[in-house]
């Protein structure tokens, strides 16, 4: 060929070659992509991922549009994450522009709804690329393996349901009072006062209490003088009133053959009673009187200042002070209830003789769950209008794993009377169904329930708020509490909690194995898994797929356990 034609042909070939290459996109190398965390982790029922990628210099065609989507593939399915679209400098659109010359770093956040099959999975980035109207095929890039799903061991069904507690009191204390009134500056007892119905009823009550085999009675005499007239005068007056009242009462007790302890005392100036009566009254300027009482502590100064309020003192003298010239008789009665043995016997032989408080208390006297439920059923038959009877049947069904019947009983309890205990228990039921929004609403209506902190701990676990879960569980020793501590990486505390679980089960041992794996204690991993699998054979398959034990797959003892 003639040399004068050769150079133009070479130039033309170079132009064609460059033009052809510029219309292509190369596969994005794995080295330019980083997914975190590694491996992925289930948190609050989701598998979140943050992907940091770099489009290197000269990689992005000026006329290209590239949509990047993460996809998590597992046996039997795949889950697609959030798609991000990027465009070249010469594309008319609203997507992030990637300069061709410099390239760019991008961050993509995504999340997948967790499924157990995702424990064994692979995370890929997929690319949907076009230059003008031409589709460019780019290969998927693998950027991760597997999902750690330890948080999914949270189990609302193992939490402690709320009991409708009994209010049984072995000893019920009652105080019954009667007043004997005196005239101003006098200490003599008047027959009118001694024979009035109030005093007569009080004496009968003391006699009945003394004769009752299950009651104890003790008497107090408190004699007072009103706070007018000076301390010296009132001291002698109150003392004489106490002495005269004591003589009268001793004669009456002797006449009735009642032998009970009597404690007598007197108060010279009853400022406390005065303040109480004034505060409850509607007298004019009562706030001014109360202010004087708060400003002055000296009795004489108080009295003088109050007398200086001339507009109100006459009302005080007529309405308040006469009520303070008295001796108060108080009968302190203790009513002693049935013994534990009596209650346990009656709940079996004749529960109708027991109050609802006694029947509910009877259920606490046995450790047999079957007997407890039987007692609660008897209680519901006799006291159907007490929500606690239905709630507590539901509580027993919840413990037995019969969640459908438990839910029915909790709803029944709420229909009898809306109550925080049943709301909390229904919140636990909602958590077992994965309905965190409903659970949060129900638990929010369970204020004051003793078991609420544990239920909230489970809710926070399922929401992925592990630090809040730890705080809510506090010192509770349970699998859920230990799980929260593991997830905040407090392994020492988790070990202590697991060691203190009252009814350790297969999950307890499995969590011990997780702690051992995270703290590089291979012998405890094997021993704990061996115990867990012996209690629940299905955990062998779980352990085999669990990335918590990934570094033990080549361990012969581990392999023999999980095969």
- Asked if the model's pLDDT at residue 18 lies above 70, the reply is no
Same domain, 324 and 183: yes
Model confidence at 4, in pLDDT bands (50, 70, 90)?
A: very low
Same domain, 216 and 247: yes
Model pLDDT, residue 13: 37
- Asked if the model's pLDDT at residue 495 lies above 80, the reply is yes
162: nearest Cα among 376, 351, 388 = 388
Model pLDDT, residue 293: 77
pLDDT digits (tens, 9 = 90+) for 516-549: 999 999 999 999 999 999 999 999 999 999 999 9
The answer to whether residue 280 sits within a structural domain is yes
> Average of pLDDT values for 260-281?
89
The answer to whether residue 332 sits within a structural domain is yes
- Asked if the model's pLDDT at residue 496 lies above 90, the reply is yes
Q: Report the largest interatomic distance among the alpha carbons of the chain, rounded to a whole angstrom.
A: 152
Same domain, 144 and 206: no
Token reading at 354? 């027991």
Model pLDDT, residue 61: 96
208: nearest Cα among 163, 247, 258 = 258
Model pLDDT, residue 55: 97
> What number of other Cβ atoms are within 10 A of residue 17's Cβ?
10
Helix (H) or strand (E) run with residue 33 in it: strand 33-36
The share of the chain scoring above pLDDT 90, in percent, equals: 82
The answer to whether residue 494 sits within a structural domain is no
- Asked if the model's pLDDT at residue 273 lies above 50, the reply is yes
- Asked if the model's pLDDT at residue 20 lies above 50, the reply is no
Which DSSP state fits 99?
Answer: -
Find the range with the poorest average confidence among 228-237, 305-314, 380-389: 305-314
Residue with the larger pLDDT of the pair 386 and 283? 386
- Asked if the model's pLDDT at residue 487 lies above 70, the reply is yes
- What is the total count of domains within the chain? 2
The answer to whether residue 262 sits within a structural domain is yes
- Asked if the model's pLDDT at residue 9 lies above 90, the reply is no
- Asked if the model's pLDDT at residue 310 lies above 60, the reply is no
Distances (CA, A) of 451 to 162, 167, 389, 422, 484: 6, 17, 18, 11, 17
Q: At what angle do helices 479-487 and 506-518 cross, to 10 degrees?
A: 20
Query: What is the domain-level CATH number for residue 45?
Result: 2.60.40.10
Model pLDDT, residue 301: 79
Same domain, 220 and 137: no
240: nearest Cα among 179, 321, 186 = 186
Strands of the sheet with 215-224, listed across from one edge:
171-181, 326-336, 215-224, 262-267
Find the range with the poorest average confidence among 28-32, 283-287, 444-448: 283-287
79, 69 contact by CB (below 8 A): no
Same domain, 117 and 188: no
Q: What distance in Å separates the CA atoms of residue 207 and residue 331, rounded to the nearest whole number?
A: 10
The share of the chain scoring above pLDDT 70, in percent, equals: 95
423, 442 contact by CB (below 8 A): yes
Model confidence at 14, in pLDDT bands (50, 70, 90)?
A: very low
> Average of pLDDT values for 15-22?
37
Which domain covers residue 136, as residue numbers?
A: 25-148
Q: What distance in Å separates the CA atoms of residue 464 and residue 154, rounded to the nearest whole number?
A: 10
Model confidence at 6, in pLDDT bands (50, 70, 90)?
A: very low
The answer to whether residue 355 sits within a structural domain is no
pLDDT digits (tens, 9 = 90+) for 38-84: 999 999 999 999 999 999 999 999 999 999 999 999 999 999 999 99
Model pLDDT, residue 311: 65
> What number of other Cβ atoms are within 10 A of residue 34's Cβ?
14
The answer to whether residue 523 sits within a structural domain is no
Tell me the whole-structure pTM to 2 decimals: 0.78
Write the CB contacts of 477 (distance below 8 Å, at least 6 apart in sequence): 497, 500, 501, 502
Model pLDDT, residue 3: 44
Question: Scanning the structure block, which residue is given the tokens 């990934």?
Answer: 550
Same domain, 175 and 322: yes
Same domain, 142 and 220: no
Write the CB contacts of 213 (distance below 8 Å, at least 6 apart in sequence): none
CB-count burial class (<10 Å; 0-12, 13-18, 19+) for 503:
exposed
């Amino acid at each position: 060929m003639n040399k004068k034609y050769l150079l133009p042909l070479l130039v033309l070939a170079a132009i064609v070659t460059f033009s052809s290459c510029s219309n292509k996109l190369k596969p994005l190398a794995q080295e330019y992509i980083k997914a975190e965390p590694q491996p992925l982790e289930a948190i609050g029922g989701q598998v979140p991922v943050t992907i940091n990628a770099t489009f290197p210099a000269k990689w992005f065609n000026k006329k290209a549009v590239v949509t990047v989507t993460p996809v998590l593939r597992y046996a039997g399915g795949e889950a697609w994450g959030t798609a991000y679209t990027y465009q070249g400098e010469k594309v008319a659109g609203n997507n992030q522009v990637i300069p061709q010359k410099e390239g760019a770093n991008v961050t993509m956040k995504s999340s997948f709804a967790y499924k157990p099959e995702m424990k064994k999975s692979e995370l890929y980035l997929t690319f949907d690329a076009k230059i003008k109207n031409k589709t460019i095929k780019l290969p998927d890039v693998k950027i991760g393996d597997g999902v750690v799903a330890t948080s999914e061991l949270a189990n609302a069904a193992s939490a402690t349901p709320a009991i409708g507690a009994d209010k049984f009191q072995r000893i019920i204390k009652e105080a019954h009072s009667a007043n004997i009134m005196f005239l101003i500056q006098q200490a003599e007892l008047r027959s009118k006062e001694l024979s009035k119905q109030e005093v007569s009823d009080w004496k009968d009550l003391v006699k009945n209490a003394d004769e009752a085999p299950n009651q104890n009675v003790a008497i107090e005499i408190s004699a007072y003088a009103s706070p007018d007239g000076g301390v010296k005068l009132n001291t002698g007056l109150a003392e004489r009133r106490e002495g005269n009242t004591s003589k009268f009462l001793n004669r009456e007790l002797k006449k009735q053959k009642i032998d009970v302890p009597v404690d007598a005392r007197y108060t010279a100036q009853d400022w406390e009673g005065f303040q109480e009566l004034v505060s409850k009254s509607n007298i004019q300027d009562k706030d001014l009187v109360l202010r004087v009482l708060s400003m002055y502590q000296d009795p004489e100064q108080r009295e003088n200042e109050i007398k200086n309020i001339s507009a109100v003192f006459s009302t005080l003298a007529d309405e308040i002070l006469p009520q303070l010239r008295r001796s108060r008789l108080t009968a302190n009665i203790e009513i002693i209830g049935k013994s534990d043995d009596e209650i346990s016997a009656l709940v079996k032989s004749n529960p109708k003789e027991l109050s609802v408080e006694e029947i509910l208390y009877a259920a606490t006297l046995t450790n047999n769950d079957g007997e407890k439920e039987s007692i609660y059923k008897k209680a519901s038959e006799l006291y159907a209008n007490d929500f606690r009877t239905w709630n507590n049947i539901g509580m027993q069904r919840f413990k037995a794993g019969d969640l459908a019947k438990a839910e029915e009983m909790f709803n029944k309890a709420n229909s009898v009377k809306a109550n925080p205990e049943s709301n909390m228990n229904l919140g636990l039921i909602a958590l077992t169904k994965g309905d965190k929004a409903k659970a949060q609403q129900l638990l929010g209506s369970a204020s004051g329930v003793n078991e609420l902190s544990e239920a909230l701990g489970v809710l926070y676990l399922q929401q992925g708020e592990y630090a809040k879960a730890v705080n809510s569980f506090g010192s509770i020793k349970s699998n859920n509490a230990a799980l929260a501590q593991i997830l905040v990486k407090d392994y020492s505390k988790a070990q202590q909690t697991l060691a203190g679980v009252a009814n350790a089960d297969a999950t307890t041992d499995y969590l011990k194995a997780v702690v051992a794996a995270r703290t590089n204690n291979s012998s405890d991993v094997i021993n704990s898994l061996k115990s867990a699998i012996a209690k629940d054979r299905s955990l062998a398959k779980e352990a085999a797929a669990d990335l918590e034990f990934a570094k033990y797959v080549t361990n012969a003892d581990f392999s023999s356990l999980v095969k």
